[in-house]
Copies of this chain bind each other. A is one copy, B any other.
Amino acid sequence: MLDLTQDVRDLTAAIVDIESVSGAERALADEVERALSALPHLKVTRSGETVVARTEQGHSERVLIAGHLDTVPTAGNLPSRVEGDLLYGCGTSDMKAGVAVALKLAATVPAPSRDVTYVFYDCEEIEAERNGLTRVARDHAGWLAADFAVLMEPTDGVIEGGCQGTLRAEVTVTGKRAHSARSWFGVNAIHGIEPVLARLNAYEPRRPVVDGLEYHEGLNAVGVQGGVAGNVIPDLCVVTVNYRFAPDLSIEEAEEHVREVFAGFAVSVVDAAPAARPGLTHPVAAAFTAAVGGTPRAKLGWTDVARFSALGVPAVNYGPGDPNLAHQQGEYVSLTKIVESERAMLDWLTI
């Protein structure tokens, strides 16, 4: 059984060595469930490979600490190994170091200063449909109720607040086919995207401050496709754009903005995911930032904090891993950072 009394660094290595590629988390989820169920101060429930453990001390405040159990596919980088201060191996940074910190807190803080819900979930690295949080939010939304959430994704020990939203849309230009030997009988749709690209090149992204954090938007072409045959003037060209928007906009407002930018062109939204406000103005979040220290920064990529935000739970990303190492074959985590992260979280839960 997973020994939660061991040092957080050793616990991280132990968890890393239980392979848990997305879809194959059962062995690790079983270990986590068994270890937490042995602790009398926790109430443990499970859905699929997602394990939820709650303290029920009757506090007026409840915080949620979450980490995903799964990793991207291994790449000859297991078992873990230590070199100096670094622990190498698949999932070390993203995000078993964070999971180990959360498990240590669950085991060693039987009477926290605010009630805590620990969530260890599956299938974060693959399609949203299979994500454990998607399933629990649908089937057991009550399990995720909280005043504030910390998602222990790798942030290099810095609080990253909220996350930017993302919207993809197709900007379509039509023309008229003709033989390219008599091109003047046609209207070239590829030539017709010049003003679309001109607007993208002239675009000045906003850098709004939301709840004290500066975000940085972006509007970019991520795909372009046009052409019928080598001797035909094409009658269709589609530019796919991706708008990354700050959490002061809803999906609807983001869509409206994209339609404004490409006014005069046919715009159709392909998919979108909402942004999440950082929520650092809440008192329990303020206590968290005070305990962790440092200057919180805005999260620019999209993460599962948006799922909590959608449930009305302000959430931040905070974890010991280095986000730049995620999904790399040479992934590692600093052992010192794991210890620092454990200490900061401990301070927060015991003040």
B183 to A220, Cβ gap below 8 A?
yes
Binds B, one of A88-96, A239-247, A252-260: A239-247
A301: Cβ under 8 A from any B Cβ:
yes
Q: Point out the residue from B180, B198, B270, B302 that lies within 8 Å of A218, measured CB to CB.
A: B180
Q: Which residues of B contact A166 (CB under 8 A)?
A: 180-181, 231
Question: Known contacts A194-B194, A194-B197; is A181 also within 8 Å of B244 by CB?
Answer: yes
A230: Cβ under 8 A from any B Cβ:
yes
A284: Cβ under 8 A from any B Cβ:
no
Question: Known contacts A164-B181, A168-B230, A231-B242; is A188 also within 8 Å of B221 by CB?
Answer: yes
Inter-chain CA distance A229–B271, complex, in Å, is: 13
A193: Cβ under 8 A from any B Cβ:
yes
A191 to B183, Cβ gap below 8 A?
no
Report the interface size for chain A: residues with CB under 8 A from the other chain.
45
Question: Known contacts A197-B197, A223-B190, A227-B240; is A218 also within 8 Å of B301 by CB?
Answer: no
Shortest CB distance A210–B (Å): 16
Shortest CB distance A230–B (Å): 5
B221 to A181, Cβ gap below 8 A?
no
B194 to A198, Cβ gap below 8 A?
yes
B301 to A182, Cβ gap below 8 A?
yes
Q: Which residues of B contact A237 (CB under 8 A)?
A: 224
Within the oligomer, what is the number of copies of this chain? 2
A225: Cβ under 8 A from any B Cβ:
yes
How does the 8 Å CB contact mask read for A200-231 relative to B, with 1 for contact and 0 for none?
11000000000000001010111111111111
Closest residue to A164 on the B side, CB-wise? B181
Inter-chain CA distance A228–B184, complex, in Å, is: 33
A278: Cβ under 8 A from any B Cβ:
no
Closest residue to A243 on the B side, CB-wise? B180
A34: Cβ under 8 A from any B Cβ:
no
B223 to A184, Cβ gap below 8 A?
no
Of residues 120 through 136 on chain A, the ones whose CB sits less than 8 Å from some CB of chain B are: none
A234: Cβ under 8 A from any B Cβ:
yes
A300: Cβ under 8 A from any B Cβ:
yes
Shortest CB distance A138–B (Å): 24
Shortest CB distance A36–B (Å): 34
A343: Cβ under 8 A from any B Cβ:
no
Of residues 293 through 318 on chain A, the ones whose CB sits less than 8 Å from some CB of chain B are: 300-302
With A183-B220, A191-B220, A222-B228 known, 5 other A-B pairs at CB within 8 A are A191-B197, A197-B197, A221-B227, A222-B233, A224-B225
